[in-house]
Amino acid sequence: MVWRDYLPEDVKQLYEIHDYRHAAAILCNEFPSEFQEVIGALRALRITVQDIIEPGGNESRIPRIVSEIMRPLGWREDKLTAKLVVDEKTIQSDTHKVDYLKGKVAFDLEWNSKDQTFDRDLFAFRTFFEYGRISLGVLLTRSNSLDPVFNALGEYEDRYGTVRRIKNKYGASTTHMGKLLSRLEAGRNGGCPVLVFGITPKIIADWEGHPKNVGSH
């Protein structure tokens, strides 16, 4: 079986998906409960044009929507502190965080942060994996198929009263699929399996490309 065989057809239609180190097979076969919850969350996720326009980066409405889905299911933020100790003296201490953890599955969302945030996420996945805290990571971000949407939405007024173009808000140096895949191809996740989902225009409930809106104009 290839990774596509493990995922439901409707989810494959809604998201851009990439699999590294057999993450889909591991999630489906080894962690069926977490698999069903992740799939259920992806099916439930819907955003609006106003969510896209609203200022706030990764503190915008969209991360809150994801939290409202995941937190009631028991997915919690977790931290791991790794120390290098030599002759009983701590030489180095690093703390790594994942936004959502349940069992041995980590889940993170990056909607519109600086693209360097992917380095932090993948290094956290890698460290949690190497210390046996997780068996795989799931990462949700923007598909580049959203770029024409941002361009079509035109302008908005930010919190300071400045008129800006939507597409500039979601610039090249922010978190999107293009910035993530290059890091995964370079092995920034180490040995940790990673399953990636990219949010596409089909997730925007009031966009003309949404399945329920096709043919309604």
Measured CA to CA, the distance from residue 98 to residue 120 in angstroms comes to 10
**Cβ 142 vs Cβ 136: under 8 Å:** no
Measured CA to CA, the distance from residue 200 to residue 10 in angstroms comes to 13
Measured CA to CA, the distance from residue 131 to residue 151 in angstroms comes to 43
Residue 211 has pLDDT above 50, yes or no: no
Instruction: Determine the structural domain holding residue 207 and report its residue range.
Output: 12-213
Give, for 121, the enclosing helix (H) or strand (E).
Answer: helix 117-130
Q: Where does the pLDDT of residue 217 fall: very low under 50, low under 70, confident under 90, or very high at 90 and above? A: very low
Q: How many residues does the chain have?
A: 217
Identify how many contiguous H helices and E strands the chain contains and give both numbers.
9, 8
Give domain status of residue 95, yes or no: yes
Of the candidates 75, 15, 5, the one whose C-alpha atom is nearest the C-alpha of residue 198 is 15
Give, for 39, the enclosing helix (H) or strand (E).
Answer: helix 32-44
Of the two residues 178 and 86, the one the predictor is more confident about is 178
- The two tokens of residue 103 are 């069992």
Of the two residues 169 and 48, the one the predictor is more confident about is 48
Give domain status of residue 102, yes or no: yes
- The two tokens of residue 6 are 């493990």
**Cβ 16 vs Cβ 177: under 8 Å:** yes
Measured CA to CA, the distance from residue 208 to residue 194 in angstroms comes to 31
Q: Where does the pLDDT of residue 213 fall: very low under 50, low under 70, confident under 90, or very high at 90 and above? A: very low
Q: Which residues contact 140 (CB under 8 A, 6 or more apart)?
A: 42, 66, 107, 108, 109, 110, 196, 197, 198, 199
Give domain status of residue 168, yes or no: yes
Give domain status of residue 6, yes or no: no
Give domain status of residue 172, yes or no: yes
Give domain status of residue 4, yes or no: no
Give domain status of residue 65, yes or no: yes
What total of structural domains would you count in the chain? 1
For residue 112, count other CB atoms closer than 10 A to its CB: 22
Q: Which residues contact 131 (CB under 8 A, 6 or more apart)?
A: 80, 82
Of the two residues 99 and 85, the one the predictor is more confident about is 99
Residue 216 has pLDDT above 60, yes or no: no
Tell me what the mean pLDDT of segment 3-18 comes to: 96
Across all residues in the chain, what is the average pLDDT? 88
Give domain status of residue 209, yes or no: yes
Of the candidates 21, 170, 190, the one whose C-alpha atom is nearest the C-alpha of residue 110 is 170
Q: What is the pLDDT of residues 97-119, one digit of tens each?
A: 899 999 999 999 999 999 999 99
Q: What is the pLDDT of residues 44-78, one digit of tens each?
A: 999 999 999 886 544 678 999 999 999 999 999 98
CATH of the domain at 160: 3.40.91.20
Q: What is the pLDDT of residues 181-197, one digit of tens each?
A: 999 999 999 999 999 99
Residue 135 has pLDDT above 80, yes or no: yes
Give, for 125, the enclosing helix (H) or strand (E).
Answer: helix 117-130
Q: Where does the pLDDT of residue 208 fall: very low under 50, low under 70, confident under 90, or very high at 90 and above? A: confident
